Chain A
Amino acid sequence: MTFILSDVQNGVMTLTLNRPERLNSFNDEMHRQLADVLTQVERDDTIRCLLITGAGRAFCAGQDLNDRNVDPSGAAPDLGASVENFYNPLIKRLAALPKPVIAAVNGVAAGAGATLALGCDMVIAARSANFIMSFSKLGLVPDCGGTWYLPRLAGRARAMGLALLGDKLSAEQAHQWGMIWQVVDDEALNDTARQLAVHFASQPTFGLGLVKKALNASEINTLEEQLDLERDYQRMAGRSEDYREGVSAFLAKRTPVFKGK
């Protein structure tokens, strides 16, 4: 079964979570396929933007609980193993990817599906989509970066409320709270997300990668450390081909042609 569809066009890889009958929830095989596709995105310099979306009516319902049938008389399951083997590497790889990652949230994003979306660089959601931190209702903890991203995106009070209550949050509300970039009408989602992705794929990818790294680093750095990092990254960015191209295009009053290097 192909649980992950991938398609590369115009420098954009569109990655579709594809278990629509199970609301694109994760099982181990789907994780393995996702990891393989991510390796391709990491290695292929001609891919300059990653767009993640879901097939069918959901974005992703998180972990497939059918895979987690708990035998009441058996030993306790080790949920830490799947976090360690699958979810943590996934979030780390998305954060470390030196190119923009867009989530087009087409429908419900629940559990790890919600936290996965929040771990992407830009989130565009369909108006009918919603985000559910459903972990607490099962006695679990938001994983896939949830407890890290939530307070940073929504603030502590909202993060606590969302994570402790586990209630549904509409895309509109998520947008008002600054958790996601944009909400669009359902029928406009595909085009809007694709347009943004194609735009990114024509931009100075090396510089964008550094911007992303710098913003991620700011979450743990002091001002002083961050200023040093900005100096270092600016030094590197200034030596890129795209910077030269950008400046000469500006001076010649023409449109720059960026190569992403």
Chain B
Amino acid sequence: MSELLVSQNGRVLTLTLNRPEARNALNNALLDQIALALEAAQQNESTGAVVITGNDRFFAAGADLKEMASLDMPATLNDPRPQLWARIERFNKPLLAAVNGYALGAGCELAMLCDIVMAGDNARFGLPEITLGIMPGAGGTQRLIRSVGKALAYKMVLTGEAITAQQAQQAGLVAEMCPAALTLEYSEKLAARIAQHAPLALQAAKTALRQAHELSLSQGLAHERQLFTLLAATEDRQEGIVAFLEKRPAAFKGR
């Protein structure tokens, strides 16, 4: 059985983390498979959006500690892991996380890397690295504070304690909370709704949203306008507006 299950349904690709015996711990091999699947999805015109999920009890409960323990300082310096994360981050289509159960450590970092997090009411988000004498190493300190703010981010990182789905939603980490039995279904529905929009518009919008944390407001506005202008040259923009005026569904071609 593969450790990453891949299934395509319509324009939505679903990646299911499947290492139940290791609580879906994200070792390098699994991160590599995720990166490969996303790189393939990026090339595939029939994929409009991707959902990453785990199982009922674990989204992913962290990194693989055995793998990490074997690395000393020089080995950590040359760890391929940051490159694996960077490949996942480069994915330019909408990426959703459907989280049930524990999203801890690297699991929480993976969820935060996604564009939209949907959470089951049993979900827990936390960065317990500090309790192991280490710290988050894949965006945990950076993405968390940008989404939930200073107070909660410091508390979570310094205590290592997890928060509930409800707290995570209130804090802005989670877009929507639903009964755990429906998380994946609702995430795939949302992904399908997103995936019917014009691919280039989605790509441009995602790029603009990402820049929000990289640029100043005026630079961000300038960049946003550039992307907006770019879309004016697409056939899909024409189709989208005409279809709206003619009160019919748009048929986008990704051009």
Contacts and interface: CB of A to CB of B under 8 A. Distances in A.
A215 interface: no
Interface of B: 178-179, 181-182
Contacts of A232: 178-179, 182
A160 B182 CA distance: 41
A235 B189 CA distance: 14
A235 B178 CA distance: 12
A233 interface: yes
Contacts of B182: 232, 235-236
A235 B183 CA distance: 12
8 contacts: A232-B178, A232-B179, A232-B182, A233-B179, A235-B182, A236-B179, A236-B181, A236-B182
Q: Is the interface of A mostly helix, strand, loop or mixed?
A: helix
B107 to A, nearest CB: 24
Contacts of B178: 232
Given A232-B179, A235-B182, A236-B182, 5 more contacts: A232-B178, A232-B182, A233-B179, A236-B179, A236-B181
Interface of A: 232-233, 235-236
Contacts of B181: 236
A232 B182 CA distance: 8
A236 B182 CA distance: 8
A84 to B, nearest CB: 15
Contacts of A235: 182
Nearest to B176: A228
Nearest to A217: B121
B248 to A, nearest CB: 28
A236 B179 CA distance: 9
A158 B182 CA distance: 40
Contacts of A233: 179
A235 B181 CA distance: 10
Nearest to B181: A236
B164 to A, nearest CB: 12
A232 B179 CA distance: 7
A204 to B, nearest CB: 16
Nearest to A229: B179
A232 B189 CA distance: 14
A236 B185 CA distance: 11
A38 B179 CA distance: 23
Nearest to B182: A232
A181 to B, nearest CB: 27
B82 to A, nearest CB: 39
A90 to B, nearest CB: 19
B62 to A, nearest CB: 26
A233 B181 CA distance: 10
A152 to B, nearest CB: 20
A41 B179 CA distance: 22
Nearest to A210: B179
